Each structure stands twice: as structure tokens, then as C-alpha cells.
Amino acid sequence: MNYSYVIIGSNTTSNLQLQHFLEAYDDFVCADIAENPNDGLNHTLKYSPDILFIDLQNEPTEYFQMVSDLHQYINHIPLVIGMSKTKDNAYEAIKCGFFDYWILPYNEFDIRKSIYKLRKQVPKKETTLSTLCLQSYKDYRYIDTKDILYLKADNNTTDFFLSDGTKVSAYKTLKTFENKLPPNFTRIHQSYILNSNYVSRINYGKNLCDLKKTDTQVPFSKSYKENIDVLNNRMSKNSISSHN
């Protein structure tokens, strides 16, 4: 029962600061961070987030146009919260139907009020599985998706490897689960779907992903390299970088 969001803005420090504030709310999940209006539009169409957080300090006209352009492509328009150091763009934001408008620097109380107002006015319906039911004849097995490290195809069955070290098998193909899992699950191989929340390392030289809580390395293939690039880009933007 989560709200997915995309942060859009050119100020990397501000983007990470907002993400840090939102980490206090378990039902808010970051789909990605975009640095400009074009990427913002692309990420919105790709991830279908519930909320857009847009920094209007630079290129406000382009961002307002981006929000307007969304109506050409999708029926469900995300809620939009704008932010700026002044109220100069507040009137235009109201005209564009923004849900809220924040004055920078971020104020924890303003963020909390917006989130509670959003939860009250737009209660989230269950759109993605948080609990997965695996049925075999009269046997029903329930798995919390946050406990899944990765899925591995095994002929016409799928093995679920869990964070507690256990393995659960389902008599369905990997493809069956690919579009039913939350957005933090990424197909990286013909035989593997990965929970990106557990990724600790991406080794392009060996085509391997290391996972937290396990010594297992999961391979990725060239045919799914674009998915790996998206995952790596998202993780890099959400991290403090140090290049050797």
C-alpha cells in the first residue's frame, strides 16, 4: 500500500535531502530521480509514479510545460508538489493543478502536513502486491515481497530466495511474476528477477550483482543491460559518490 514518487530537479543535494526526509514514511517509495524536464517526463511515463516532486527554482516554465504535456500521454496524472525559495511560481502552480507548494529550504513540518493531507484526500488503493500468494493444489503460501532477495527460473517453475536463507518454489514461469511485483523488482537476466533494495554492488566487468545479507552473486546478461543501467543510475543518484 505504497505511494511511489519521482523527484525532479537539477540540485543533487536538494534531491537527496528531500529523499532523506521522505524515508521517514514507510509507504513512500522512490521510483527514480530526474535532473531535467525531459528526463522527468520520461521517468513519469516509465514508472507511472503517484507523486512528482518538482524543484521549480530553475526552468520553471519548462517544468510547467512538462506537467501539461503529461495529459497527452496518460490518463492518470500524478499528484504534483512544487518547491522553490520564493512564491513567484505559486500562482502558476495552482493554475497547473499542483497538489501543494513548498517554500525552500525544506521544512519537516510542511512535508508532514502535505503527506497527511495526501493520505487523507487520496487514500492509496492496493495496486501492487506487498504479499504474494503461491498456491499449489490446496496449499497456500504467503510471502512478503520485501523479504524476497531474487527469483530464479527453473524450467517451468520459479524459485524464490528469501532474506532468511529459505527457498520457496512456485509452479509458474518467471514471466508470470514479472509484471505483478512492485517496481523495486528488476529483470536482469532471462532466468533472474532481482529485488533492487538488496543490491550492494554492480560489477560490469564480471556481469554480477552482489546482494546484502548473502554471499550470493546474481548474474545479469547483455540483453538486460538497459535495466541494469537504469538500476545503477538510480542507485548512483541516491548515493554519496566517491570515485577512485
Sheet with 192-195, side-by-side order of all strands: 167-170, 157-162, 148-154, 192-195, 185-189
Name residues whose C-beta falls within 8 Å of residue 103's C-beta, 6 or more positions apart in sequence: 83, 84, 85, 86, 87, 110
**pTM greater than 0.75 (yes/no):** no
Q: What integer pLDDT is reported at residue 239 of this predicted model?
A: 66
CA-nearest of 118, 74, 119 to 100 is: 118
What is the phi/psi pair of residue 181, to 5°?
Answer: -85, 160
pLDDT, position 26: 81
CA separation (Å) from 120 to 10, 83, 113?
30, 21, 11
Q: Give the model confidence (pLDDT) of 113-168 as tens digits.
A: 999 999 999 987 655 447 888 877 667 788 999 999 999 998 889 999 999 999 99
CATH class of 3-121: alpha beta
- Over the chain (244 residues), the average pLDDT of each successive run of 10 is 90 94 89 94 93 96 96 94 97 96 96 96 68 76 92 92 92 87 92 94 96 91 93 79 56
The full set of domain ranges for the chain reads 3-121, 131-237
The CATH number, out of the four listed (2.40.50.1020, 1.20.1250.20, 3.20.20.10, 2.60.40.740), of the domain defined by the range 131-237:
2.40.50.1020
The pLDDT value recorded for residue 131 is 83
Start-to-end CA span in the chain (Å): 40
Residue 49: predicted pLDDT: 93
